[in-house]
Chain A
Amino acid sequence: MLMKLALSGMKSKLKDYLVLLAGLVISISIFYMFQTMAWNRSFTENNAVINSIQLVYVLGTILLSAITFFYILYANGFLLSLRQREFGLYMVLGARKDKIRKLMFIETIVLGMVSLAAGLGIGFGLSALVGRLMAQQLQADLTGYYPVYGPAIGFTVLFFVALFIFSALWNQLKLARMQVLQLLHGSMRADRPWRSSGWKKVMVVVGVIAILLGYLSLTFMEQLREIGLFTATIMTPLGTYLLFMAFLPPLVARLKKSHQLRGIRAFTFGQLSFRINELTKLLATVAMLIALGAGAIAGGLAFWNDAFIRGETYRVYDATVHDPNEAETNVLAGIPFKERFTYRYKLDNEILYYAKEDLESQRPLVHSQQGRDYWDQLKRVEDPLPKATADSAGKAVAGESANSSAGGVAGESADGTAASADTGIESGVEGETAGGIENGESLSSDWTTFLWQIAPTNLSYSDVRLADNVQFDALEAKEQIVVIGRTDDFLAYRSSWEKLDQLAMEKSEGMGVTWSKYENYQRALGISSGTMFMGFFLGIAFLAMMASCLMFKILSGAAKDIQRYEMLHKLGVRRERLSRSIYTELLLVFLFPGIAGLLHVLVGMRLFSFILAEPYYRLWLPILLFAVIYSAYYFITVNLYKRIVLR
């Protein structure tokens, strides 16, 4: 009989149960999504550029477990609050307490199992969907990734069954300690306004220290390695929680005080200040989830950008075309180059001669220094060119030097190119600078680097020399040209580069390799796409969890607020003003964790500095992306809330 009553009671609060169930299901499916990565060791290790990726996942699991743990506990507290009045009524009518406790236990477990089944189902779907979408968008190869993955299922089930049993027992304990009257009037309990106290000051101090430690370990991750990873994982959330708990309530109290007599704003801040105490922990959680979500997406994008940076490091000029044929000329004509140079050269007797006048009159751009950090710092080559060496005397000198070292140049230029293309990072030129031409007449290192970047890859030669116009014309070899060009935006003309590469391949009849900037870029992209996928996948998962947390909390408290808005309406507050009050209130609720989360991301991106050239490059893009998602989500929440309280 009691069971029947309980069921009908559940039916009458179907809407609340659906909100609760949705929250549980989302958190389970996201936990599962994360686990499909964490447990699939072979996939993550094959696809990540980070060495200790497995450790990252272990720590991620710990963090996510902790967040989920508190989320579930909170959700179950909500469940109890939904039911306690009804249970109190049963007890007044003579139901025994142990019966009620049994009922509550069964309800918690059943709800847990239902949400676990639904959560796993949705988790499968989400993993498959996000996986496929990402694979399409990033053109990433995801062999080895399984949306339905046994170990992940096992761990998720184990974790949540344990969690639900724990929270069922927790509810038991709470129920056992409550008196009938407390049960009956549970919802009448007033929220307490914030009060200052000594141990809150301790909280501030500990919180500041914790967050500093966390930020320090993020900043010096390269030196601290695994220890840094651990401290960052523990200290950053700890600091966030403590500071949110210590700072938010007095901040809101101050806001309220200063708007005490400012009409509806007095109400808005009054509302907020009453709510903020129970909101702080949730908002800190939300801040952490934002940090993780936006951080994962920003990290993924940073790996994407890294491919571009590698391309830029590899070559200054976007296109290098030797002896363009008609098709190539057409493609080149279609690209709005900011700078386009043509150089003549001849290959005679295993020696490559460049027309000195061309180089003199079209001085190229080179990187101001070697290394990844200087990928976007360019300078024009100012060094004087050595005397043309194509005359007989020069030939002898050069010939000598060629004997001692130029053999090395030729050999090195061939495999040097290959090597540099393979690693994709170093341009591998340093060696030749010394080796090439070392006397006073020698080419400066900038010139050497540049010449070798434009050198034809399909010809073999043992030395590189300059020839003035007379000498150059006197050479009997065929005159060839190389066209180089640089645009404002390498990525904007990707299709053109691809076409040029294709044409070059056709021209060489499959014999040569283009070693182009575009090819290098593509190769780097291929390496980082796995990491990128993980970043986006986890980013979406974390943001979805954040969304469900916040929305759940705000909407579950909305029922209590109906009376307040009703009263204001009766007192003659216009609907628009009530609506504006809601917008302001929720804006603040969204703003605090949003800012804190982004701050974490800004500091946390340093984490990648040991693997990426520029983790902060174009960081505005993921931040903008996040801002758009977050604002959309803000408006949705406001409207859902408005629909509940402003009837």
Chain B
Amino acid sequence: MAIKPVIEMNKVSKIYGGKTENQVFALNDVSFTMQEGEFIGIMGASGSGKTTLLNVVSTLDHPTEGTVAIAGTDITRMKARELSDFRAQRLGFIFQEFNLLDNLTVYENVALPLSLQDLPVHQIMDRVGKVLEQLGIAELADKYPATISGGQRQRTAAARAIVHEPALLLGDEPTGSLDTKNAVGLLEQMKRLNEQQQISILMVTHDAFSASYCSRILFIQDGRLVQELYRLGSREAFYKQILNVLGDYGAAAAEAAAKELSAVEDRG
């Protein structure tokens, strides 16, 4: 199978504020390509632009400049309705919070992406059953989200994100509100989905441990991609590598901030 690009981002910028105002570059000339079957993590400090990047990829936000193509489709030229359909058919989401609709049961939540596409009932039941089984939440099917644990909720969210076999699975701090045990559980699930079913995953995280499950990490700072890290060896080694990079950036950032502060004080 020839490897195709899932995401092609070309010189994408996202600028907040008008021409006369103070312009803020949430994204500044970002370009990267993600191949099918990759598991990419995006890391950066708060306010570095990683969520904006994810929103642009997930078609929820429009870039000010540049083009974004997902699975060969240029999403920057699509209309709102087409974008909605595109999201429904080609993308899967796992968010940190408010993942599930609390007025639907686990089963109904997972079935939602399929039933929204008006698939025949037997097909829906088939697929939902399989996915619930796969993620080990089949016995929770008739429960409401409010009555299950956080980890179970995130697994339900994962089930919903992959039930329609999307081209790309997007995660926004998926382990952010989970304890270690549940976080590991979810990450293992995602790894399995990636390795066994060749599902491409793009995940935003600030947690080095979560990031160590990825095959590649993009570091973003002040709206720019500043570094790339490929996983070559074991996950543990990769984890250390990530921590080092973060440490460097942390130190550099702290230094820069201190300099700026002292400059202000000098002036004062």
Contacts and interface: CB of A to CB of B under 8 A. Distances in A.
To the question of whether A and B form a pair in one complex, the answer is yes
Interface of A: 190-191, 193, 260-264, 266-267, 270-271, 273-275, 563-564, 566-577
B144 A568 contact: no
Contact of B98 (A191, A273, A567): A567
A572 B102 contact: no
Contact of A571 (B81, B112, B147): B112
Interface in B11-46: none
Interface in B85-125: 85-89, 91, 93, 95, 98-99, 101-104, 107-108, 111-118, 121, 124-125
- Interface size, B (range): 35 or more
B84 interface: yes
Interface in B228-252: none
Contacts, number: 86
A183 B81 CA distance: 41
Contact of B84 (A261, A275, A567, A574): A574
B88 A572 contact: yes
B81 A274 contact: no
SS class, residues of chain B in contact with chain A: helix
Contact of A190 (B93, B111, B116, B146): B146
12 contacts: A190-B145, A193-B144, A261-B121, A266-B104, A266-B111, A270-B103, A271-B103, A566-B98, A569-B84, A570-B93, A572-B116, A574-B81
B108 A263 contact: no
Given A266-B108, A574-B81, A575-B84, A564 B91 contact: no
A629 B118 CA distance: 36
Contacts of B87: 570-572
A574 B197 CA distance: 29
Contacts of A574: 80-81, 84-85
Contacts of A267: 101, 103-104, 112
A274 B102 contact: yes
B58 interface: yes
Nearest to B59: A572
A425 B147 CA distance: 69
Contacts of B80: 574-575
Given A260-B108, A261-B111, A567 B101 contact: yes
A262 B102 CA distance: 17
Contacts of B121: 261
Contacts of A575: 80-81, 84
B60 interface: yes
A573 B88 contact: yes
Interface in B140-188: 144-147
B88 to A, nearest CB: 3
A342 B145 CA distance: 84
A263 B98 contact: no
A558 to B, nearest CB: 14
Contacts of A270: 101, 103-104, 108
B84 A572 contact: yes
A267 B100 CA distance: 12
SS class, residues of chain A in contact with chain B: helix
A261 B125 contact: yes
Nearest to B121: A261
Given A572-B85, A573-B88, A190 B115 contact: no
A143 B245 CA distance: 89
B144 A264 contact: no
Interface in B43-66: 58, 60
Contacts of B81: 574-576
A557 B81 CA distance: 28
B112 to A, nearest CB: 7
Contact of B103 (A261, A263, A564, A576): A564
Contacts of A264: 116
A137 to B, nearest CB: 46
A193 B145 CA distance: 12
Contacts of A260: 107-108, 111
Contacts of B58: 570
Contact of A261 (B93, B95, B102, B115): B115
A150 B117 CA distance: 64
A570 to B, nearest CB: 6
Contacts of B89: 572
Q: A-B pairs with the 5 shortest C-beta distances?
A: A572-B88, A572-B87, A190-B146, A270-B103, A274-B103
A198 B103 CA distance: 25
Given A564-B101, A575-B80, A266 B115 contact: yes
Nearest to B160: A571
Given A190-B144, A190-B147, 18 more contacts: A191-B102, A260-B107, A261-B124, A266-B108, A267-B101, A267-B112, A270-B108, A273-B103, A274-B102, A563-B98, A570-B58, A570-B87, A570-B93, A572-B87, A572-B91, A574-B81, A574-B84, A574-B85
B93 A571 contact: yes
Contacts of A191: 102-103
B118 A263 contact: yes
B144 A263 contact: no
A569 B86 CA distance: 12
Contacts of B146: 190
Contact of A573 (B84, B102, B114): B84
B106 to A, nearest CB: 12
A261 B121 CA distance: 7
A263 B116 contact: yes
B79 to A, nearest CB: 11
Nearest to B60: A570
Contacts of A571: 87-88, 93, 112-113, 116
A464 to B, nearest CB: 81
Contacts of B108: 260-261, 266, 270
Contacts of B144: 190, 193
Nearest to B172: A570
Contacts of B116: 263-264, 571-573, 577
B113 to A, nearest CB: 6
Contact of A263 (B102, B117, B125): B117
